[in-house]
């Protein structure tokens, strides 16, 4: 082994050069095959961490419009089919039909936004959040809107 600074010959176990006092720095030489194997192992570790990050991102995805869409659809449907007592005189009144139509239209809006968010998640992550709930809310809201419009027109 030789000193990097002055070139003097040294023993293999020396920590400092005997002639100039320079600290011995041992350089680990690796072949291309060793470098390739180390890089391959490092890439495998990174891909595992990326997969777990992607899976965590999918678990954290939430569609904020699903619950309002389903809630307003159930509310509008409940208002439309609820057997109002005749003594209340609100079951067939104009303002009640308008209220049911407004709630049904609000539900349609939330269903549309919910489908848009699901489509966005599908494009970005190839994942949909609660697609059955969105479909149920959409069918219920559309049916309630059609029935309330029919009831409003045929007064």
Write out pLDDT tens, residues 98-155.
Answer: 888 999 999 999 999 999 998 988 888 888 888 899 999 999 999 999 988 888 888 6
How far apart (Å, rounded) are the C-alpha atoms in residues 121 and 113? 12
Give 80-93 pLDDT, tens digit per residue: 888 677 777 666 67
- pLDDT, position 47: 73
- pLDDT, position 139: 93
Give 20-64 pLDDT, tens digit per residue: 888 888 777 778 888 889 898 888 887 766 666 667 777 778 888
How far apart (Å, rounded) are the C-alpha atoms in residues 141 and 105? 8
- pLDDT, position 102: 94
- pLDDT, position 92: 67
**23: helix, coil or strand?**
strand
pLDDT (average), residues 4-32: 83
pTM here is: 0.59
Please choose, from the candidates 147, 142, 135, 12, the residue with its C-alpha nearest in 3D space to the C-alpha of residue 66: 135
- pLDDT, position 114: 92
Q: Are 148 and 88 in contact (CB under 8 A)?
A: no
């Amino acid at each position: 082994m030789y000193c990097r600074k002055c070139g003097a010959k040294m023993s293999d176990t020396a920590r400092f050069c005997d002639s100039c006092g320079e600290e011995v720095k041992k350089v680990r030489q690796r072949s291309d095959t060793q470098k390739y194997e180390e890089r391959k192992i490092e890439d495998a570790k990174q891909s595992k961490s990326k997969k777990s990050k992607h899976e965590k991102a999918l678990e954290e995805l939430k569609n904020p419009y699903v619950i309002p869409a389903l809630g307003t659809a159930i509310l509008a449907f409940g208002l439309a089919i609820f057997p109002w007592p005749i003594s209340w005189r609100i079951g067939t009144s104009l303002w009640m039909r308008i209220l049911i139509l407004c709630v049904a239209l609000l539900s349609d809006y939330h269903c549309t936004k919910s489908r848009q968010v699901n489509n966005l998640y599908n494009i970005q992550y190839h994942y949909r959040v609660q697609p059955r709930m969105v479909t149920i809310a959409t069918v219920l809201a559309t049916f309630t809107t059609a029935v309330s419009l029919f009831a409003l027109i045929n007064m």
